[in-house]
Structure 1
Amino acid sequence: MKNLHDLRIFCETAQQGSLSACARKMDLSPAVVSASLKRLEADLGVLLFIRSTRNLRLTQKGEQFLRHCTDALAILDEATTQMHSEDAELSGVIQLSAPSDLGRNLLLPWLDEFMALHQKLEIRLQLSDSPADLYSQPVDLALRYGKPKDSGFIAIPIAPDNVPVLCASPSYIEHFGSPKTLQELTQHNCLCHGHNDTLHTRWVFNKDNKNTSIDVTGNRQCKDGDITRKWAIAGKGIARKSHLDIVQDLIQGRLIELDVDGWQGETFPLNLICAERRLLSPAVNAFKIHLQQKVAALLTQLGRNKLTTKA
């Protein structure tokens, strides 16, 4: 089968229900349509249509082939569109929601780089630790930690292996020491963070596929993750933060990751969320790749820094 045009004529004839209607729709003569269908049937070695002077209907083989043919042409059309989209200059508006800490300290410079590459794009950014409602608010995309609560959402992994970690500043550790067990956390000033009406004072940990939790207390609580991070850097207590949020602080030595007898937080993936697949425009796809590359580079830098420190 060599002629894609024959396939398109076949699909259009099946949709229109007659040779003449297909010919009018595709601006061809009925003779050209008829010759195309005969050529396709000869190529396949099967009869696709049963014809009469007034009627035209698909055979069983024709119906089967139509399903496959329609899918194949759709895939080819999408691939062609993507190829042209990659060559075209990206434009449009990206309406994005992101967590406070991630947004201010990592996302803002990443967005500046992305928009410098694609100057016809517009960004409308909303920063909040309270999840945006993708149905009622003017937001198309959201960067969110954890698994989506709505199974109908499309979740694109940005940092799939991210976890929450315990951290404190060098000054805090110098004055108060570092907890060696989870129970010792109850003797430390823990900086609790939350959103909406929830404040996370019960911290969950995992070790050897076993979960446990500990209730913590502290004299500072906030529903803004960036403030919690800044308190930790200032030596005000121990924080439980997304690993990704504090990578730069770990690299620069402003915070130290605490190892409490091998207990770790459960996986806390960062995903790019949208409500409908049609929102995955070429601009969004390019933005997704940009984010994935920036996260990978940052984590690689942290890994190299750890090796250098050990050496």
Structure 2
Amino acid sequence: MLRLDDLQLFVRTADAGSLSAAARALEVSPAVASAALKRLEGQLEVRLFARSTRSLRLTPEGEQFLGHARAALQSLDDGQQQLAGGKAAISGVLKLSAPSDFGRNVLLPWLDAFQQEHPQLSVRLLLADRVADLFRQPVDIAIRSGAPEDSSLVALPLAASNRRVLCGAPGYFARHGVPRQLDDLRRHNCLLYMLGERVHDRWSFTQGRRELSVAVSGDRVSDDADVVRRWAVAGQGLTYKSWLDVAADVQAGRLQLALGDYLGEPTPLNLLCAHRAQLSKPVRLLREFLQARCAELLAQAPWLNTPD
């Protein structure tokens, strides 16, 4: 039977990267901490850390076991809260990854509001457009658009009906005109996004039952989706973005929609985690909070508000 204090010591050591730091945090002596780690490795019959005189790092087996140890400790904590009537405030550190544009311009104020509701909760936010490796990187959950490439991940919907929209700044349309047909995009400066060395220069739409796409080009490409949106707001060209990313700009008049007769590409927003055991109370509450906020933005989506 694995001991709870041994699991706590293991997780603290992995987070701190130091056995002595974990021992101080748990208020035990280095000798007790070392004995606990050896006991856990003996019970599991694996080495959890590769140790030298100057460094300590997780072994592949340690990385694999870390998620299970976290989930076990969180499950016990959730059980204690339920026995206490579910009234205990959520606390601890919630580690999440989010895309650059959505994270900076949409998620940040939402997280502020969420932490105001749960002041004992700390947030560690990583912003990157590349999909976080939830088995290796120090995050609990990731927020990503589209279907997950890794079918082993658990994907929970946040905004299943989200789509891309074509838009540009009023000043850009005043200078270059508003596209009326899909082929018109070939003569416009289209601001392009690049992910994993791939430039997304073919934009797909539907019109009725027809699926259509057009090859586009422009004088600006970035691997940061926030940069592409900023270029569009500055009037440098057209952008084809998630509605959630540009809804505030559209509502404020900084961007205007175009090609309203065409339906943009589906871009569902999902919450990803490596194991269902990671769906702790803070994660579940955050998901409910984000679903509600996304629903407010989607209520104003143009494809849901087209007159019959």
TM-score of the superposed pair, with normalisation by structure 2? 0.69
Query: 8 Å contact 2:94–2:123 — kept in the other structure?
Result: yes
Query: 8 Å contact 1:251–1:302 — kept in the other structure?
Result: no
* Partner residue in 1 for 2:137: 137
Alpha-carbon shift at residue 85 of structure 1 (Å): 6.7
* Cα distance in structure 2, aligned partners of 1:143 and 1:269: 11
> Letter of the aligned partner of 2:293 in structure 1?
K
Alpha-carbon shift at residue 140 of structure 1 (Å): 1.4
Alpha-carbon shift at residue 198 of structure 1 (Å): 1.3
Secondary structure of 2:110 counterpart:
helix
Secondary structure of 2:230 counterpart:
helix
Secondary structure of 1:244 counterpart:
helix
Alpha-carbon shift at residue 104 of structure 1 (Å): 0.4
Q: Where do residues 29-44 of structure 1 align in structure 2 (5 Å cutoff)?
A: none
Q: Where do residues 56-135 of structure 1 align in structure 2 (5 Å cutoff)?
A: 84=84, 86-135=86-135
- Once the two structures are aligned, what percentage of the paired residues are identical? 43
* Partner residue in 2 for 1:248: 248
* Cα distance in structure 2, aligned partners of 1:227 and 1:293: 27
Query: 8 Å contact 2:81–2:88 — kept in the other structure?
Result: no
Question: Structure 2: which 5+ runs fail to align?
Answer: 1-77
Query: 8 Å contact 2:182–2:259 — kept in the other structure?
Result: no
Query: 8 Å contact 1:85–1:282 — kept in the other structure?
Result: no
> Letter of the aligned partner of 2:276 in structure 1?
R
* Partner residue in 2 for 1:276: 275
Report the aligned-residue RMSD.
Answer: 2.2
Alpha-carbon shift at residue 138 of structure 1 (Å): 1.0
> Letter of the aligned partner of 1:230 in structure 2?
R
Query: After superposition, what is the alpha-carbon deviation per residue over 1:249-273, rounded to whole angstroms, capped at 9, x for unaligned?
Result: 011010011125x222221100011
* Partner residue in 1 for 2:32: none
Query: After superposition, what is the alpha-carbon deviation per residue over 1:132-156, rounded to whole angstroms, capped at 9, x for unaligned?
Result: 1111111110100001122221111
Q: Where do residues 261-272 of structure 1 align in structure 2 (5 Å cutoff)?
A: 262-272=261-271
Alpha-carbon shift at residue 83 of structure 1 (Å): 7.8
Query: 8 Å contact 1:168–1:235 — kept in the other structure?
Result: yes
Matched, 1:192 2:200: no
Query: 8 Å contact 2:164–2:241 — kept in the other structure?
Result: yes
* Partner residue in 2 for 1:237: 237
Alignment: residue pair count:
228
Secondary structure of 1:138 counterpart:
coil
> Letter of the aligned partner of 1:109 in structure 2?
P
> Letter of the aligned partner of 1:231 in structure 2?
W
* Partner residue in 2 for 1:152: 152
Secondary structure of 1:132 counterpart:
coil
* Cα distance in structure 2, aligned partners of 1:247 and 1:95: 26
* Cα distance in structure 1, aligned partners of 2:250 and 2:111: 22
Query: 8 Å contact 1:190–1:217 — kept in the other structure?
Result: yes
Alpha-carbon shift at residue 182 of structure 1 (Å): 1.0
> Letter of the aligned partner of 1:284 in structure 2?
V
Question: Structure 1: which 5+ runs fail to align?
Answer: 1-77
Further displaced range: 275-284 or 112-121: 112-121
Change (3 A) 1:135 1:209: farther
Change (3 A) 1:84 1:147: farther
Secondary structure of 2:248 counterpart:
helix
Query: 8 Å contact 1:164–1:240 — kept in the other structure?
Result: yes
Secondary structure of 1:204 counterpart:
strand
Query: 8 Å contact 1:134–1:275 — kept in the other structure?
Result: yes
Matched, 1:210 2:207: no
* Cα distance in structure 2, aligned partners of 1:266 and 1:218: 20
Alpha-carbon shift at residue 240 of structure 1 (Å): 0.5
* Cα distance in structure 2, aligned partners of 1:110 and 1:257: 25
* Partner residue in 1 for 2:288: 289
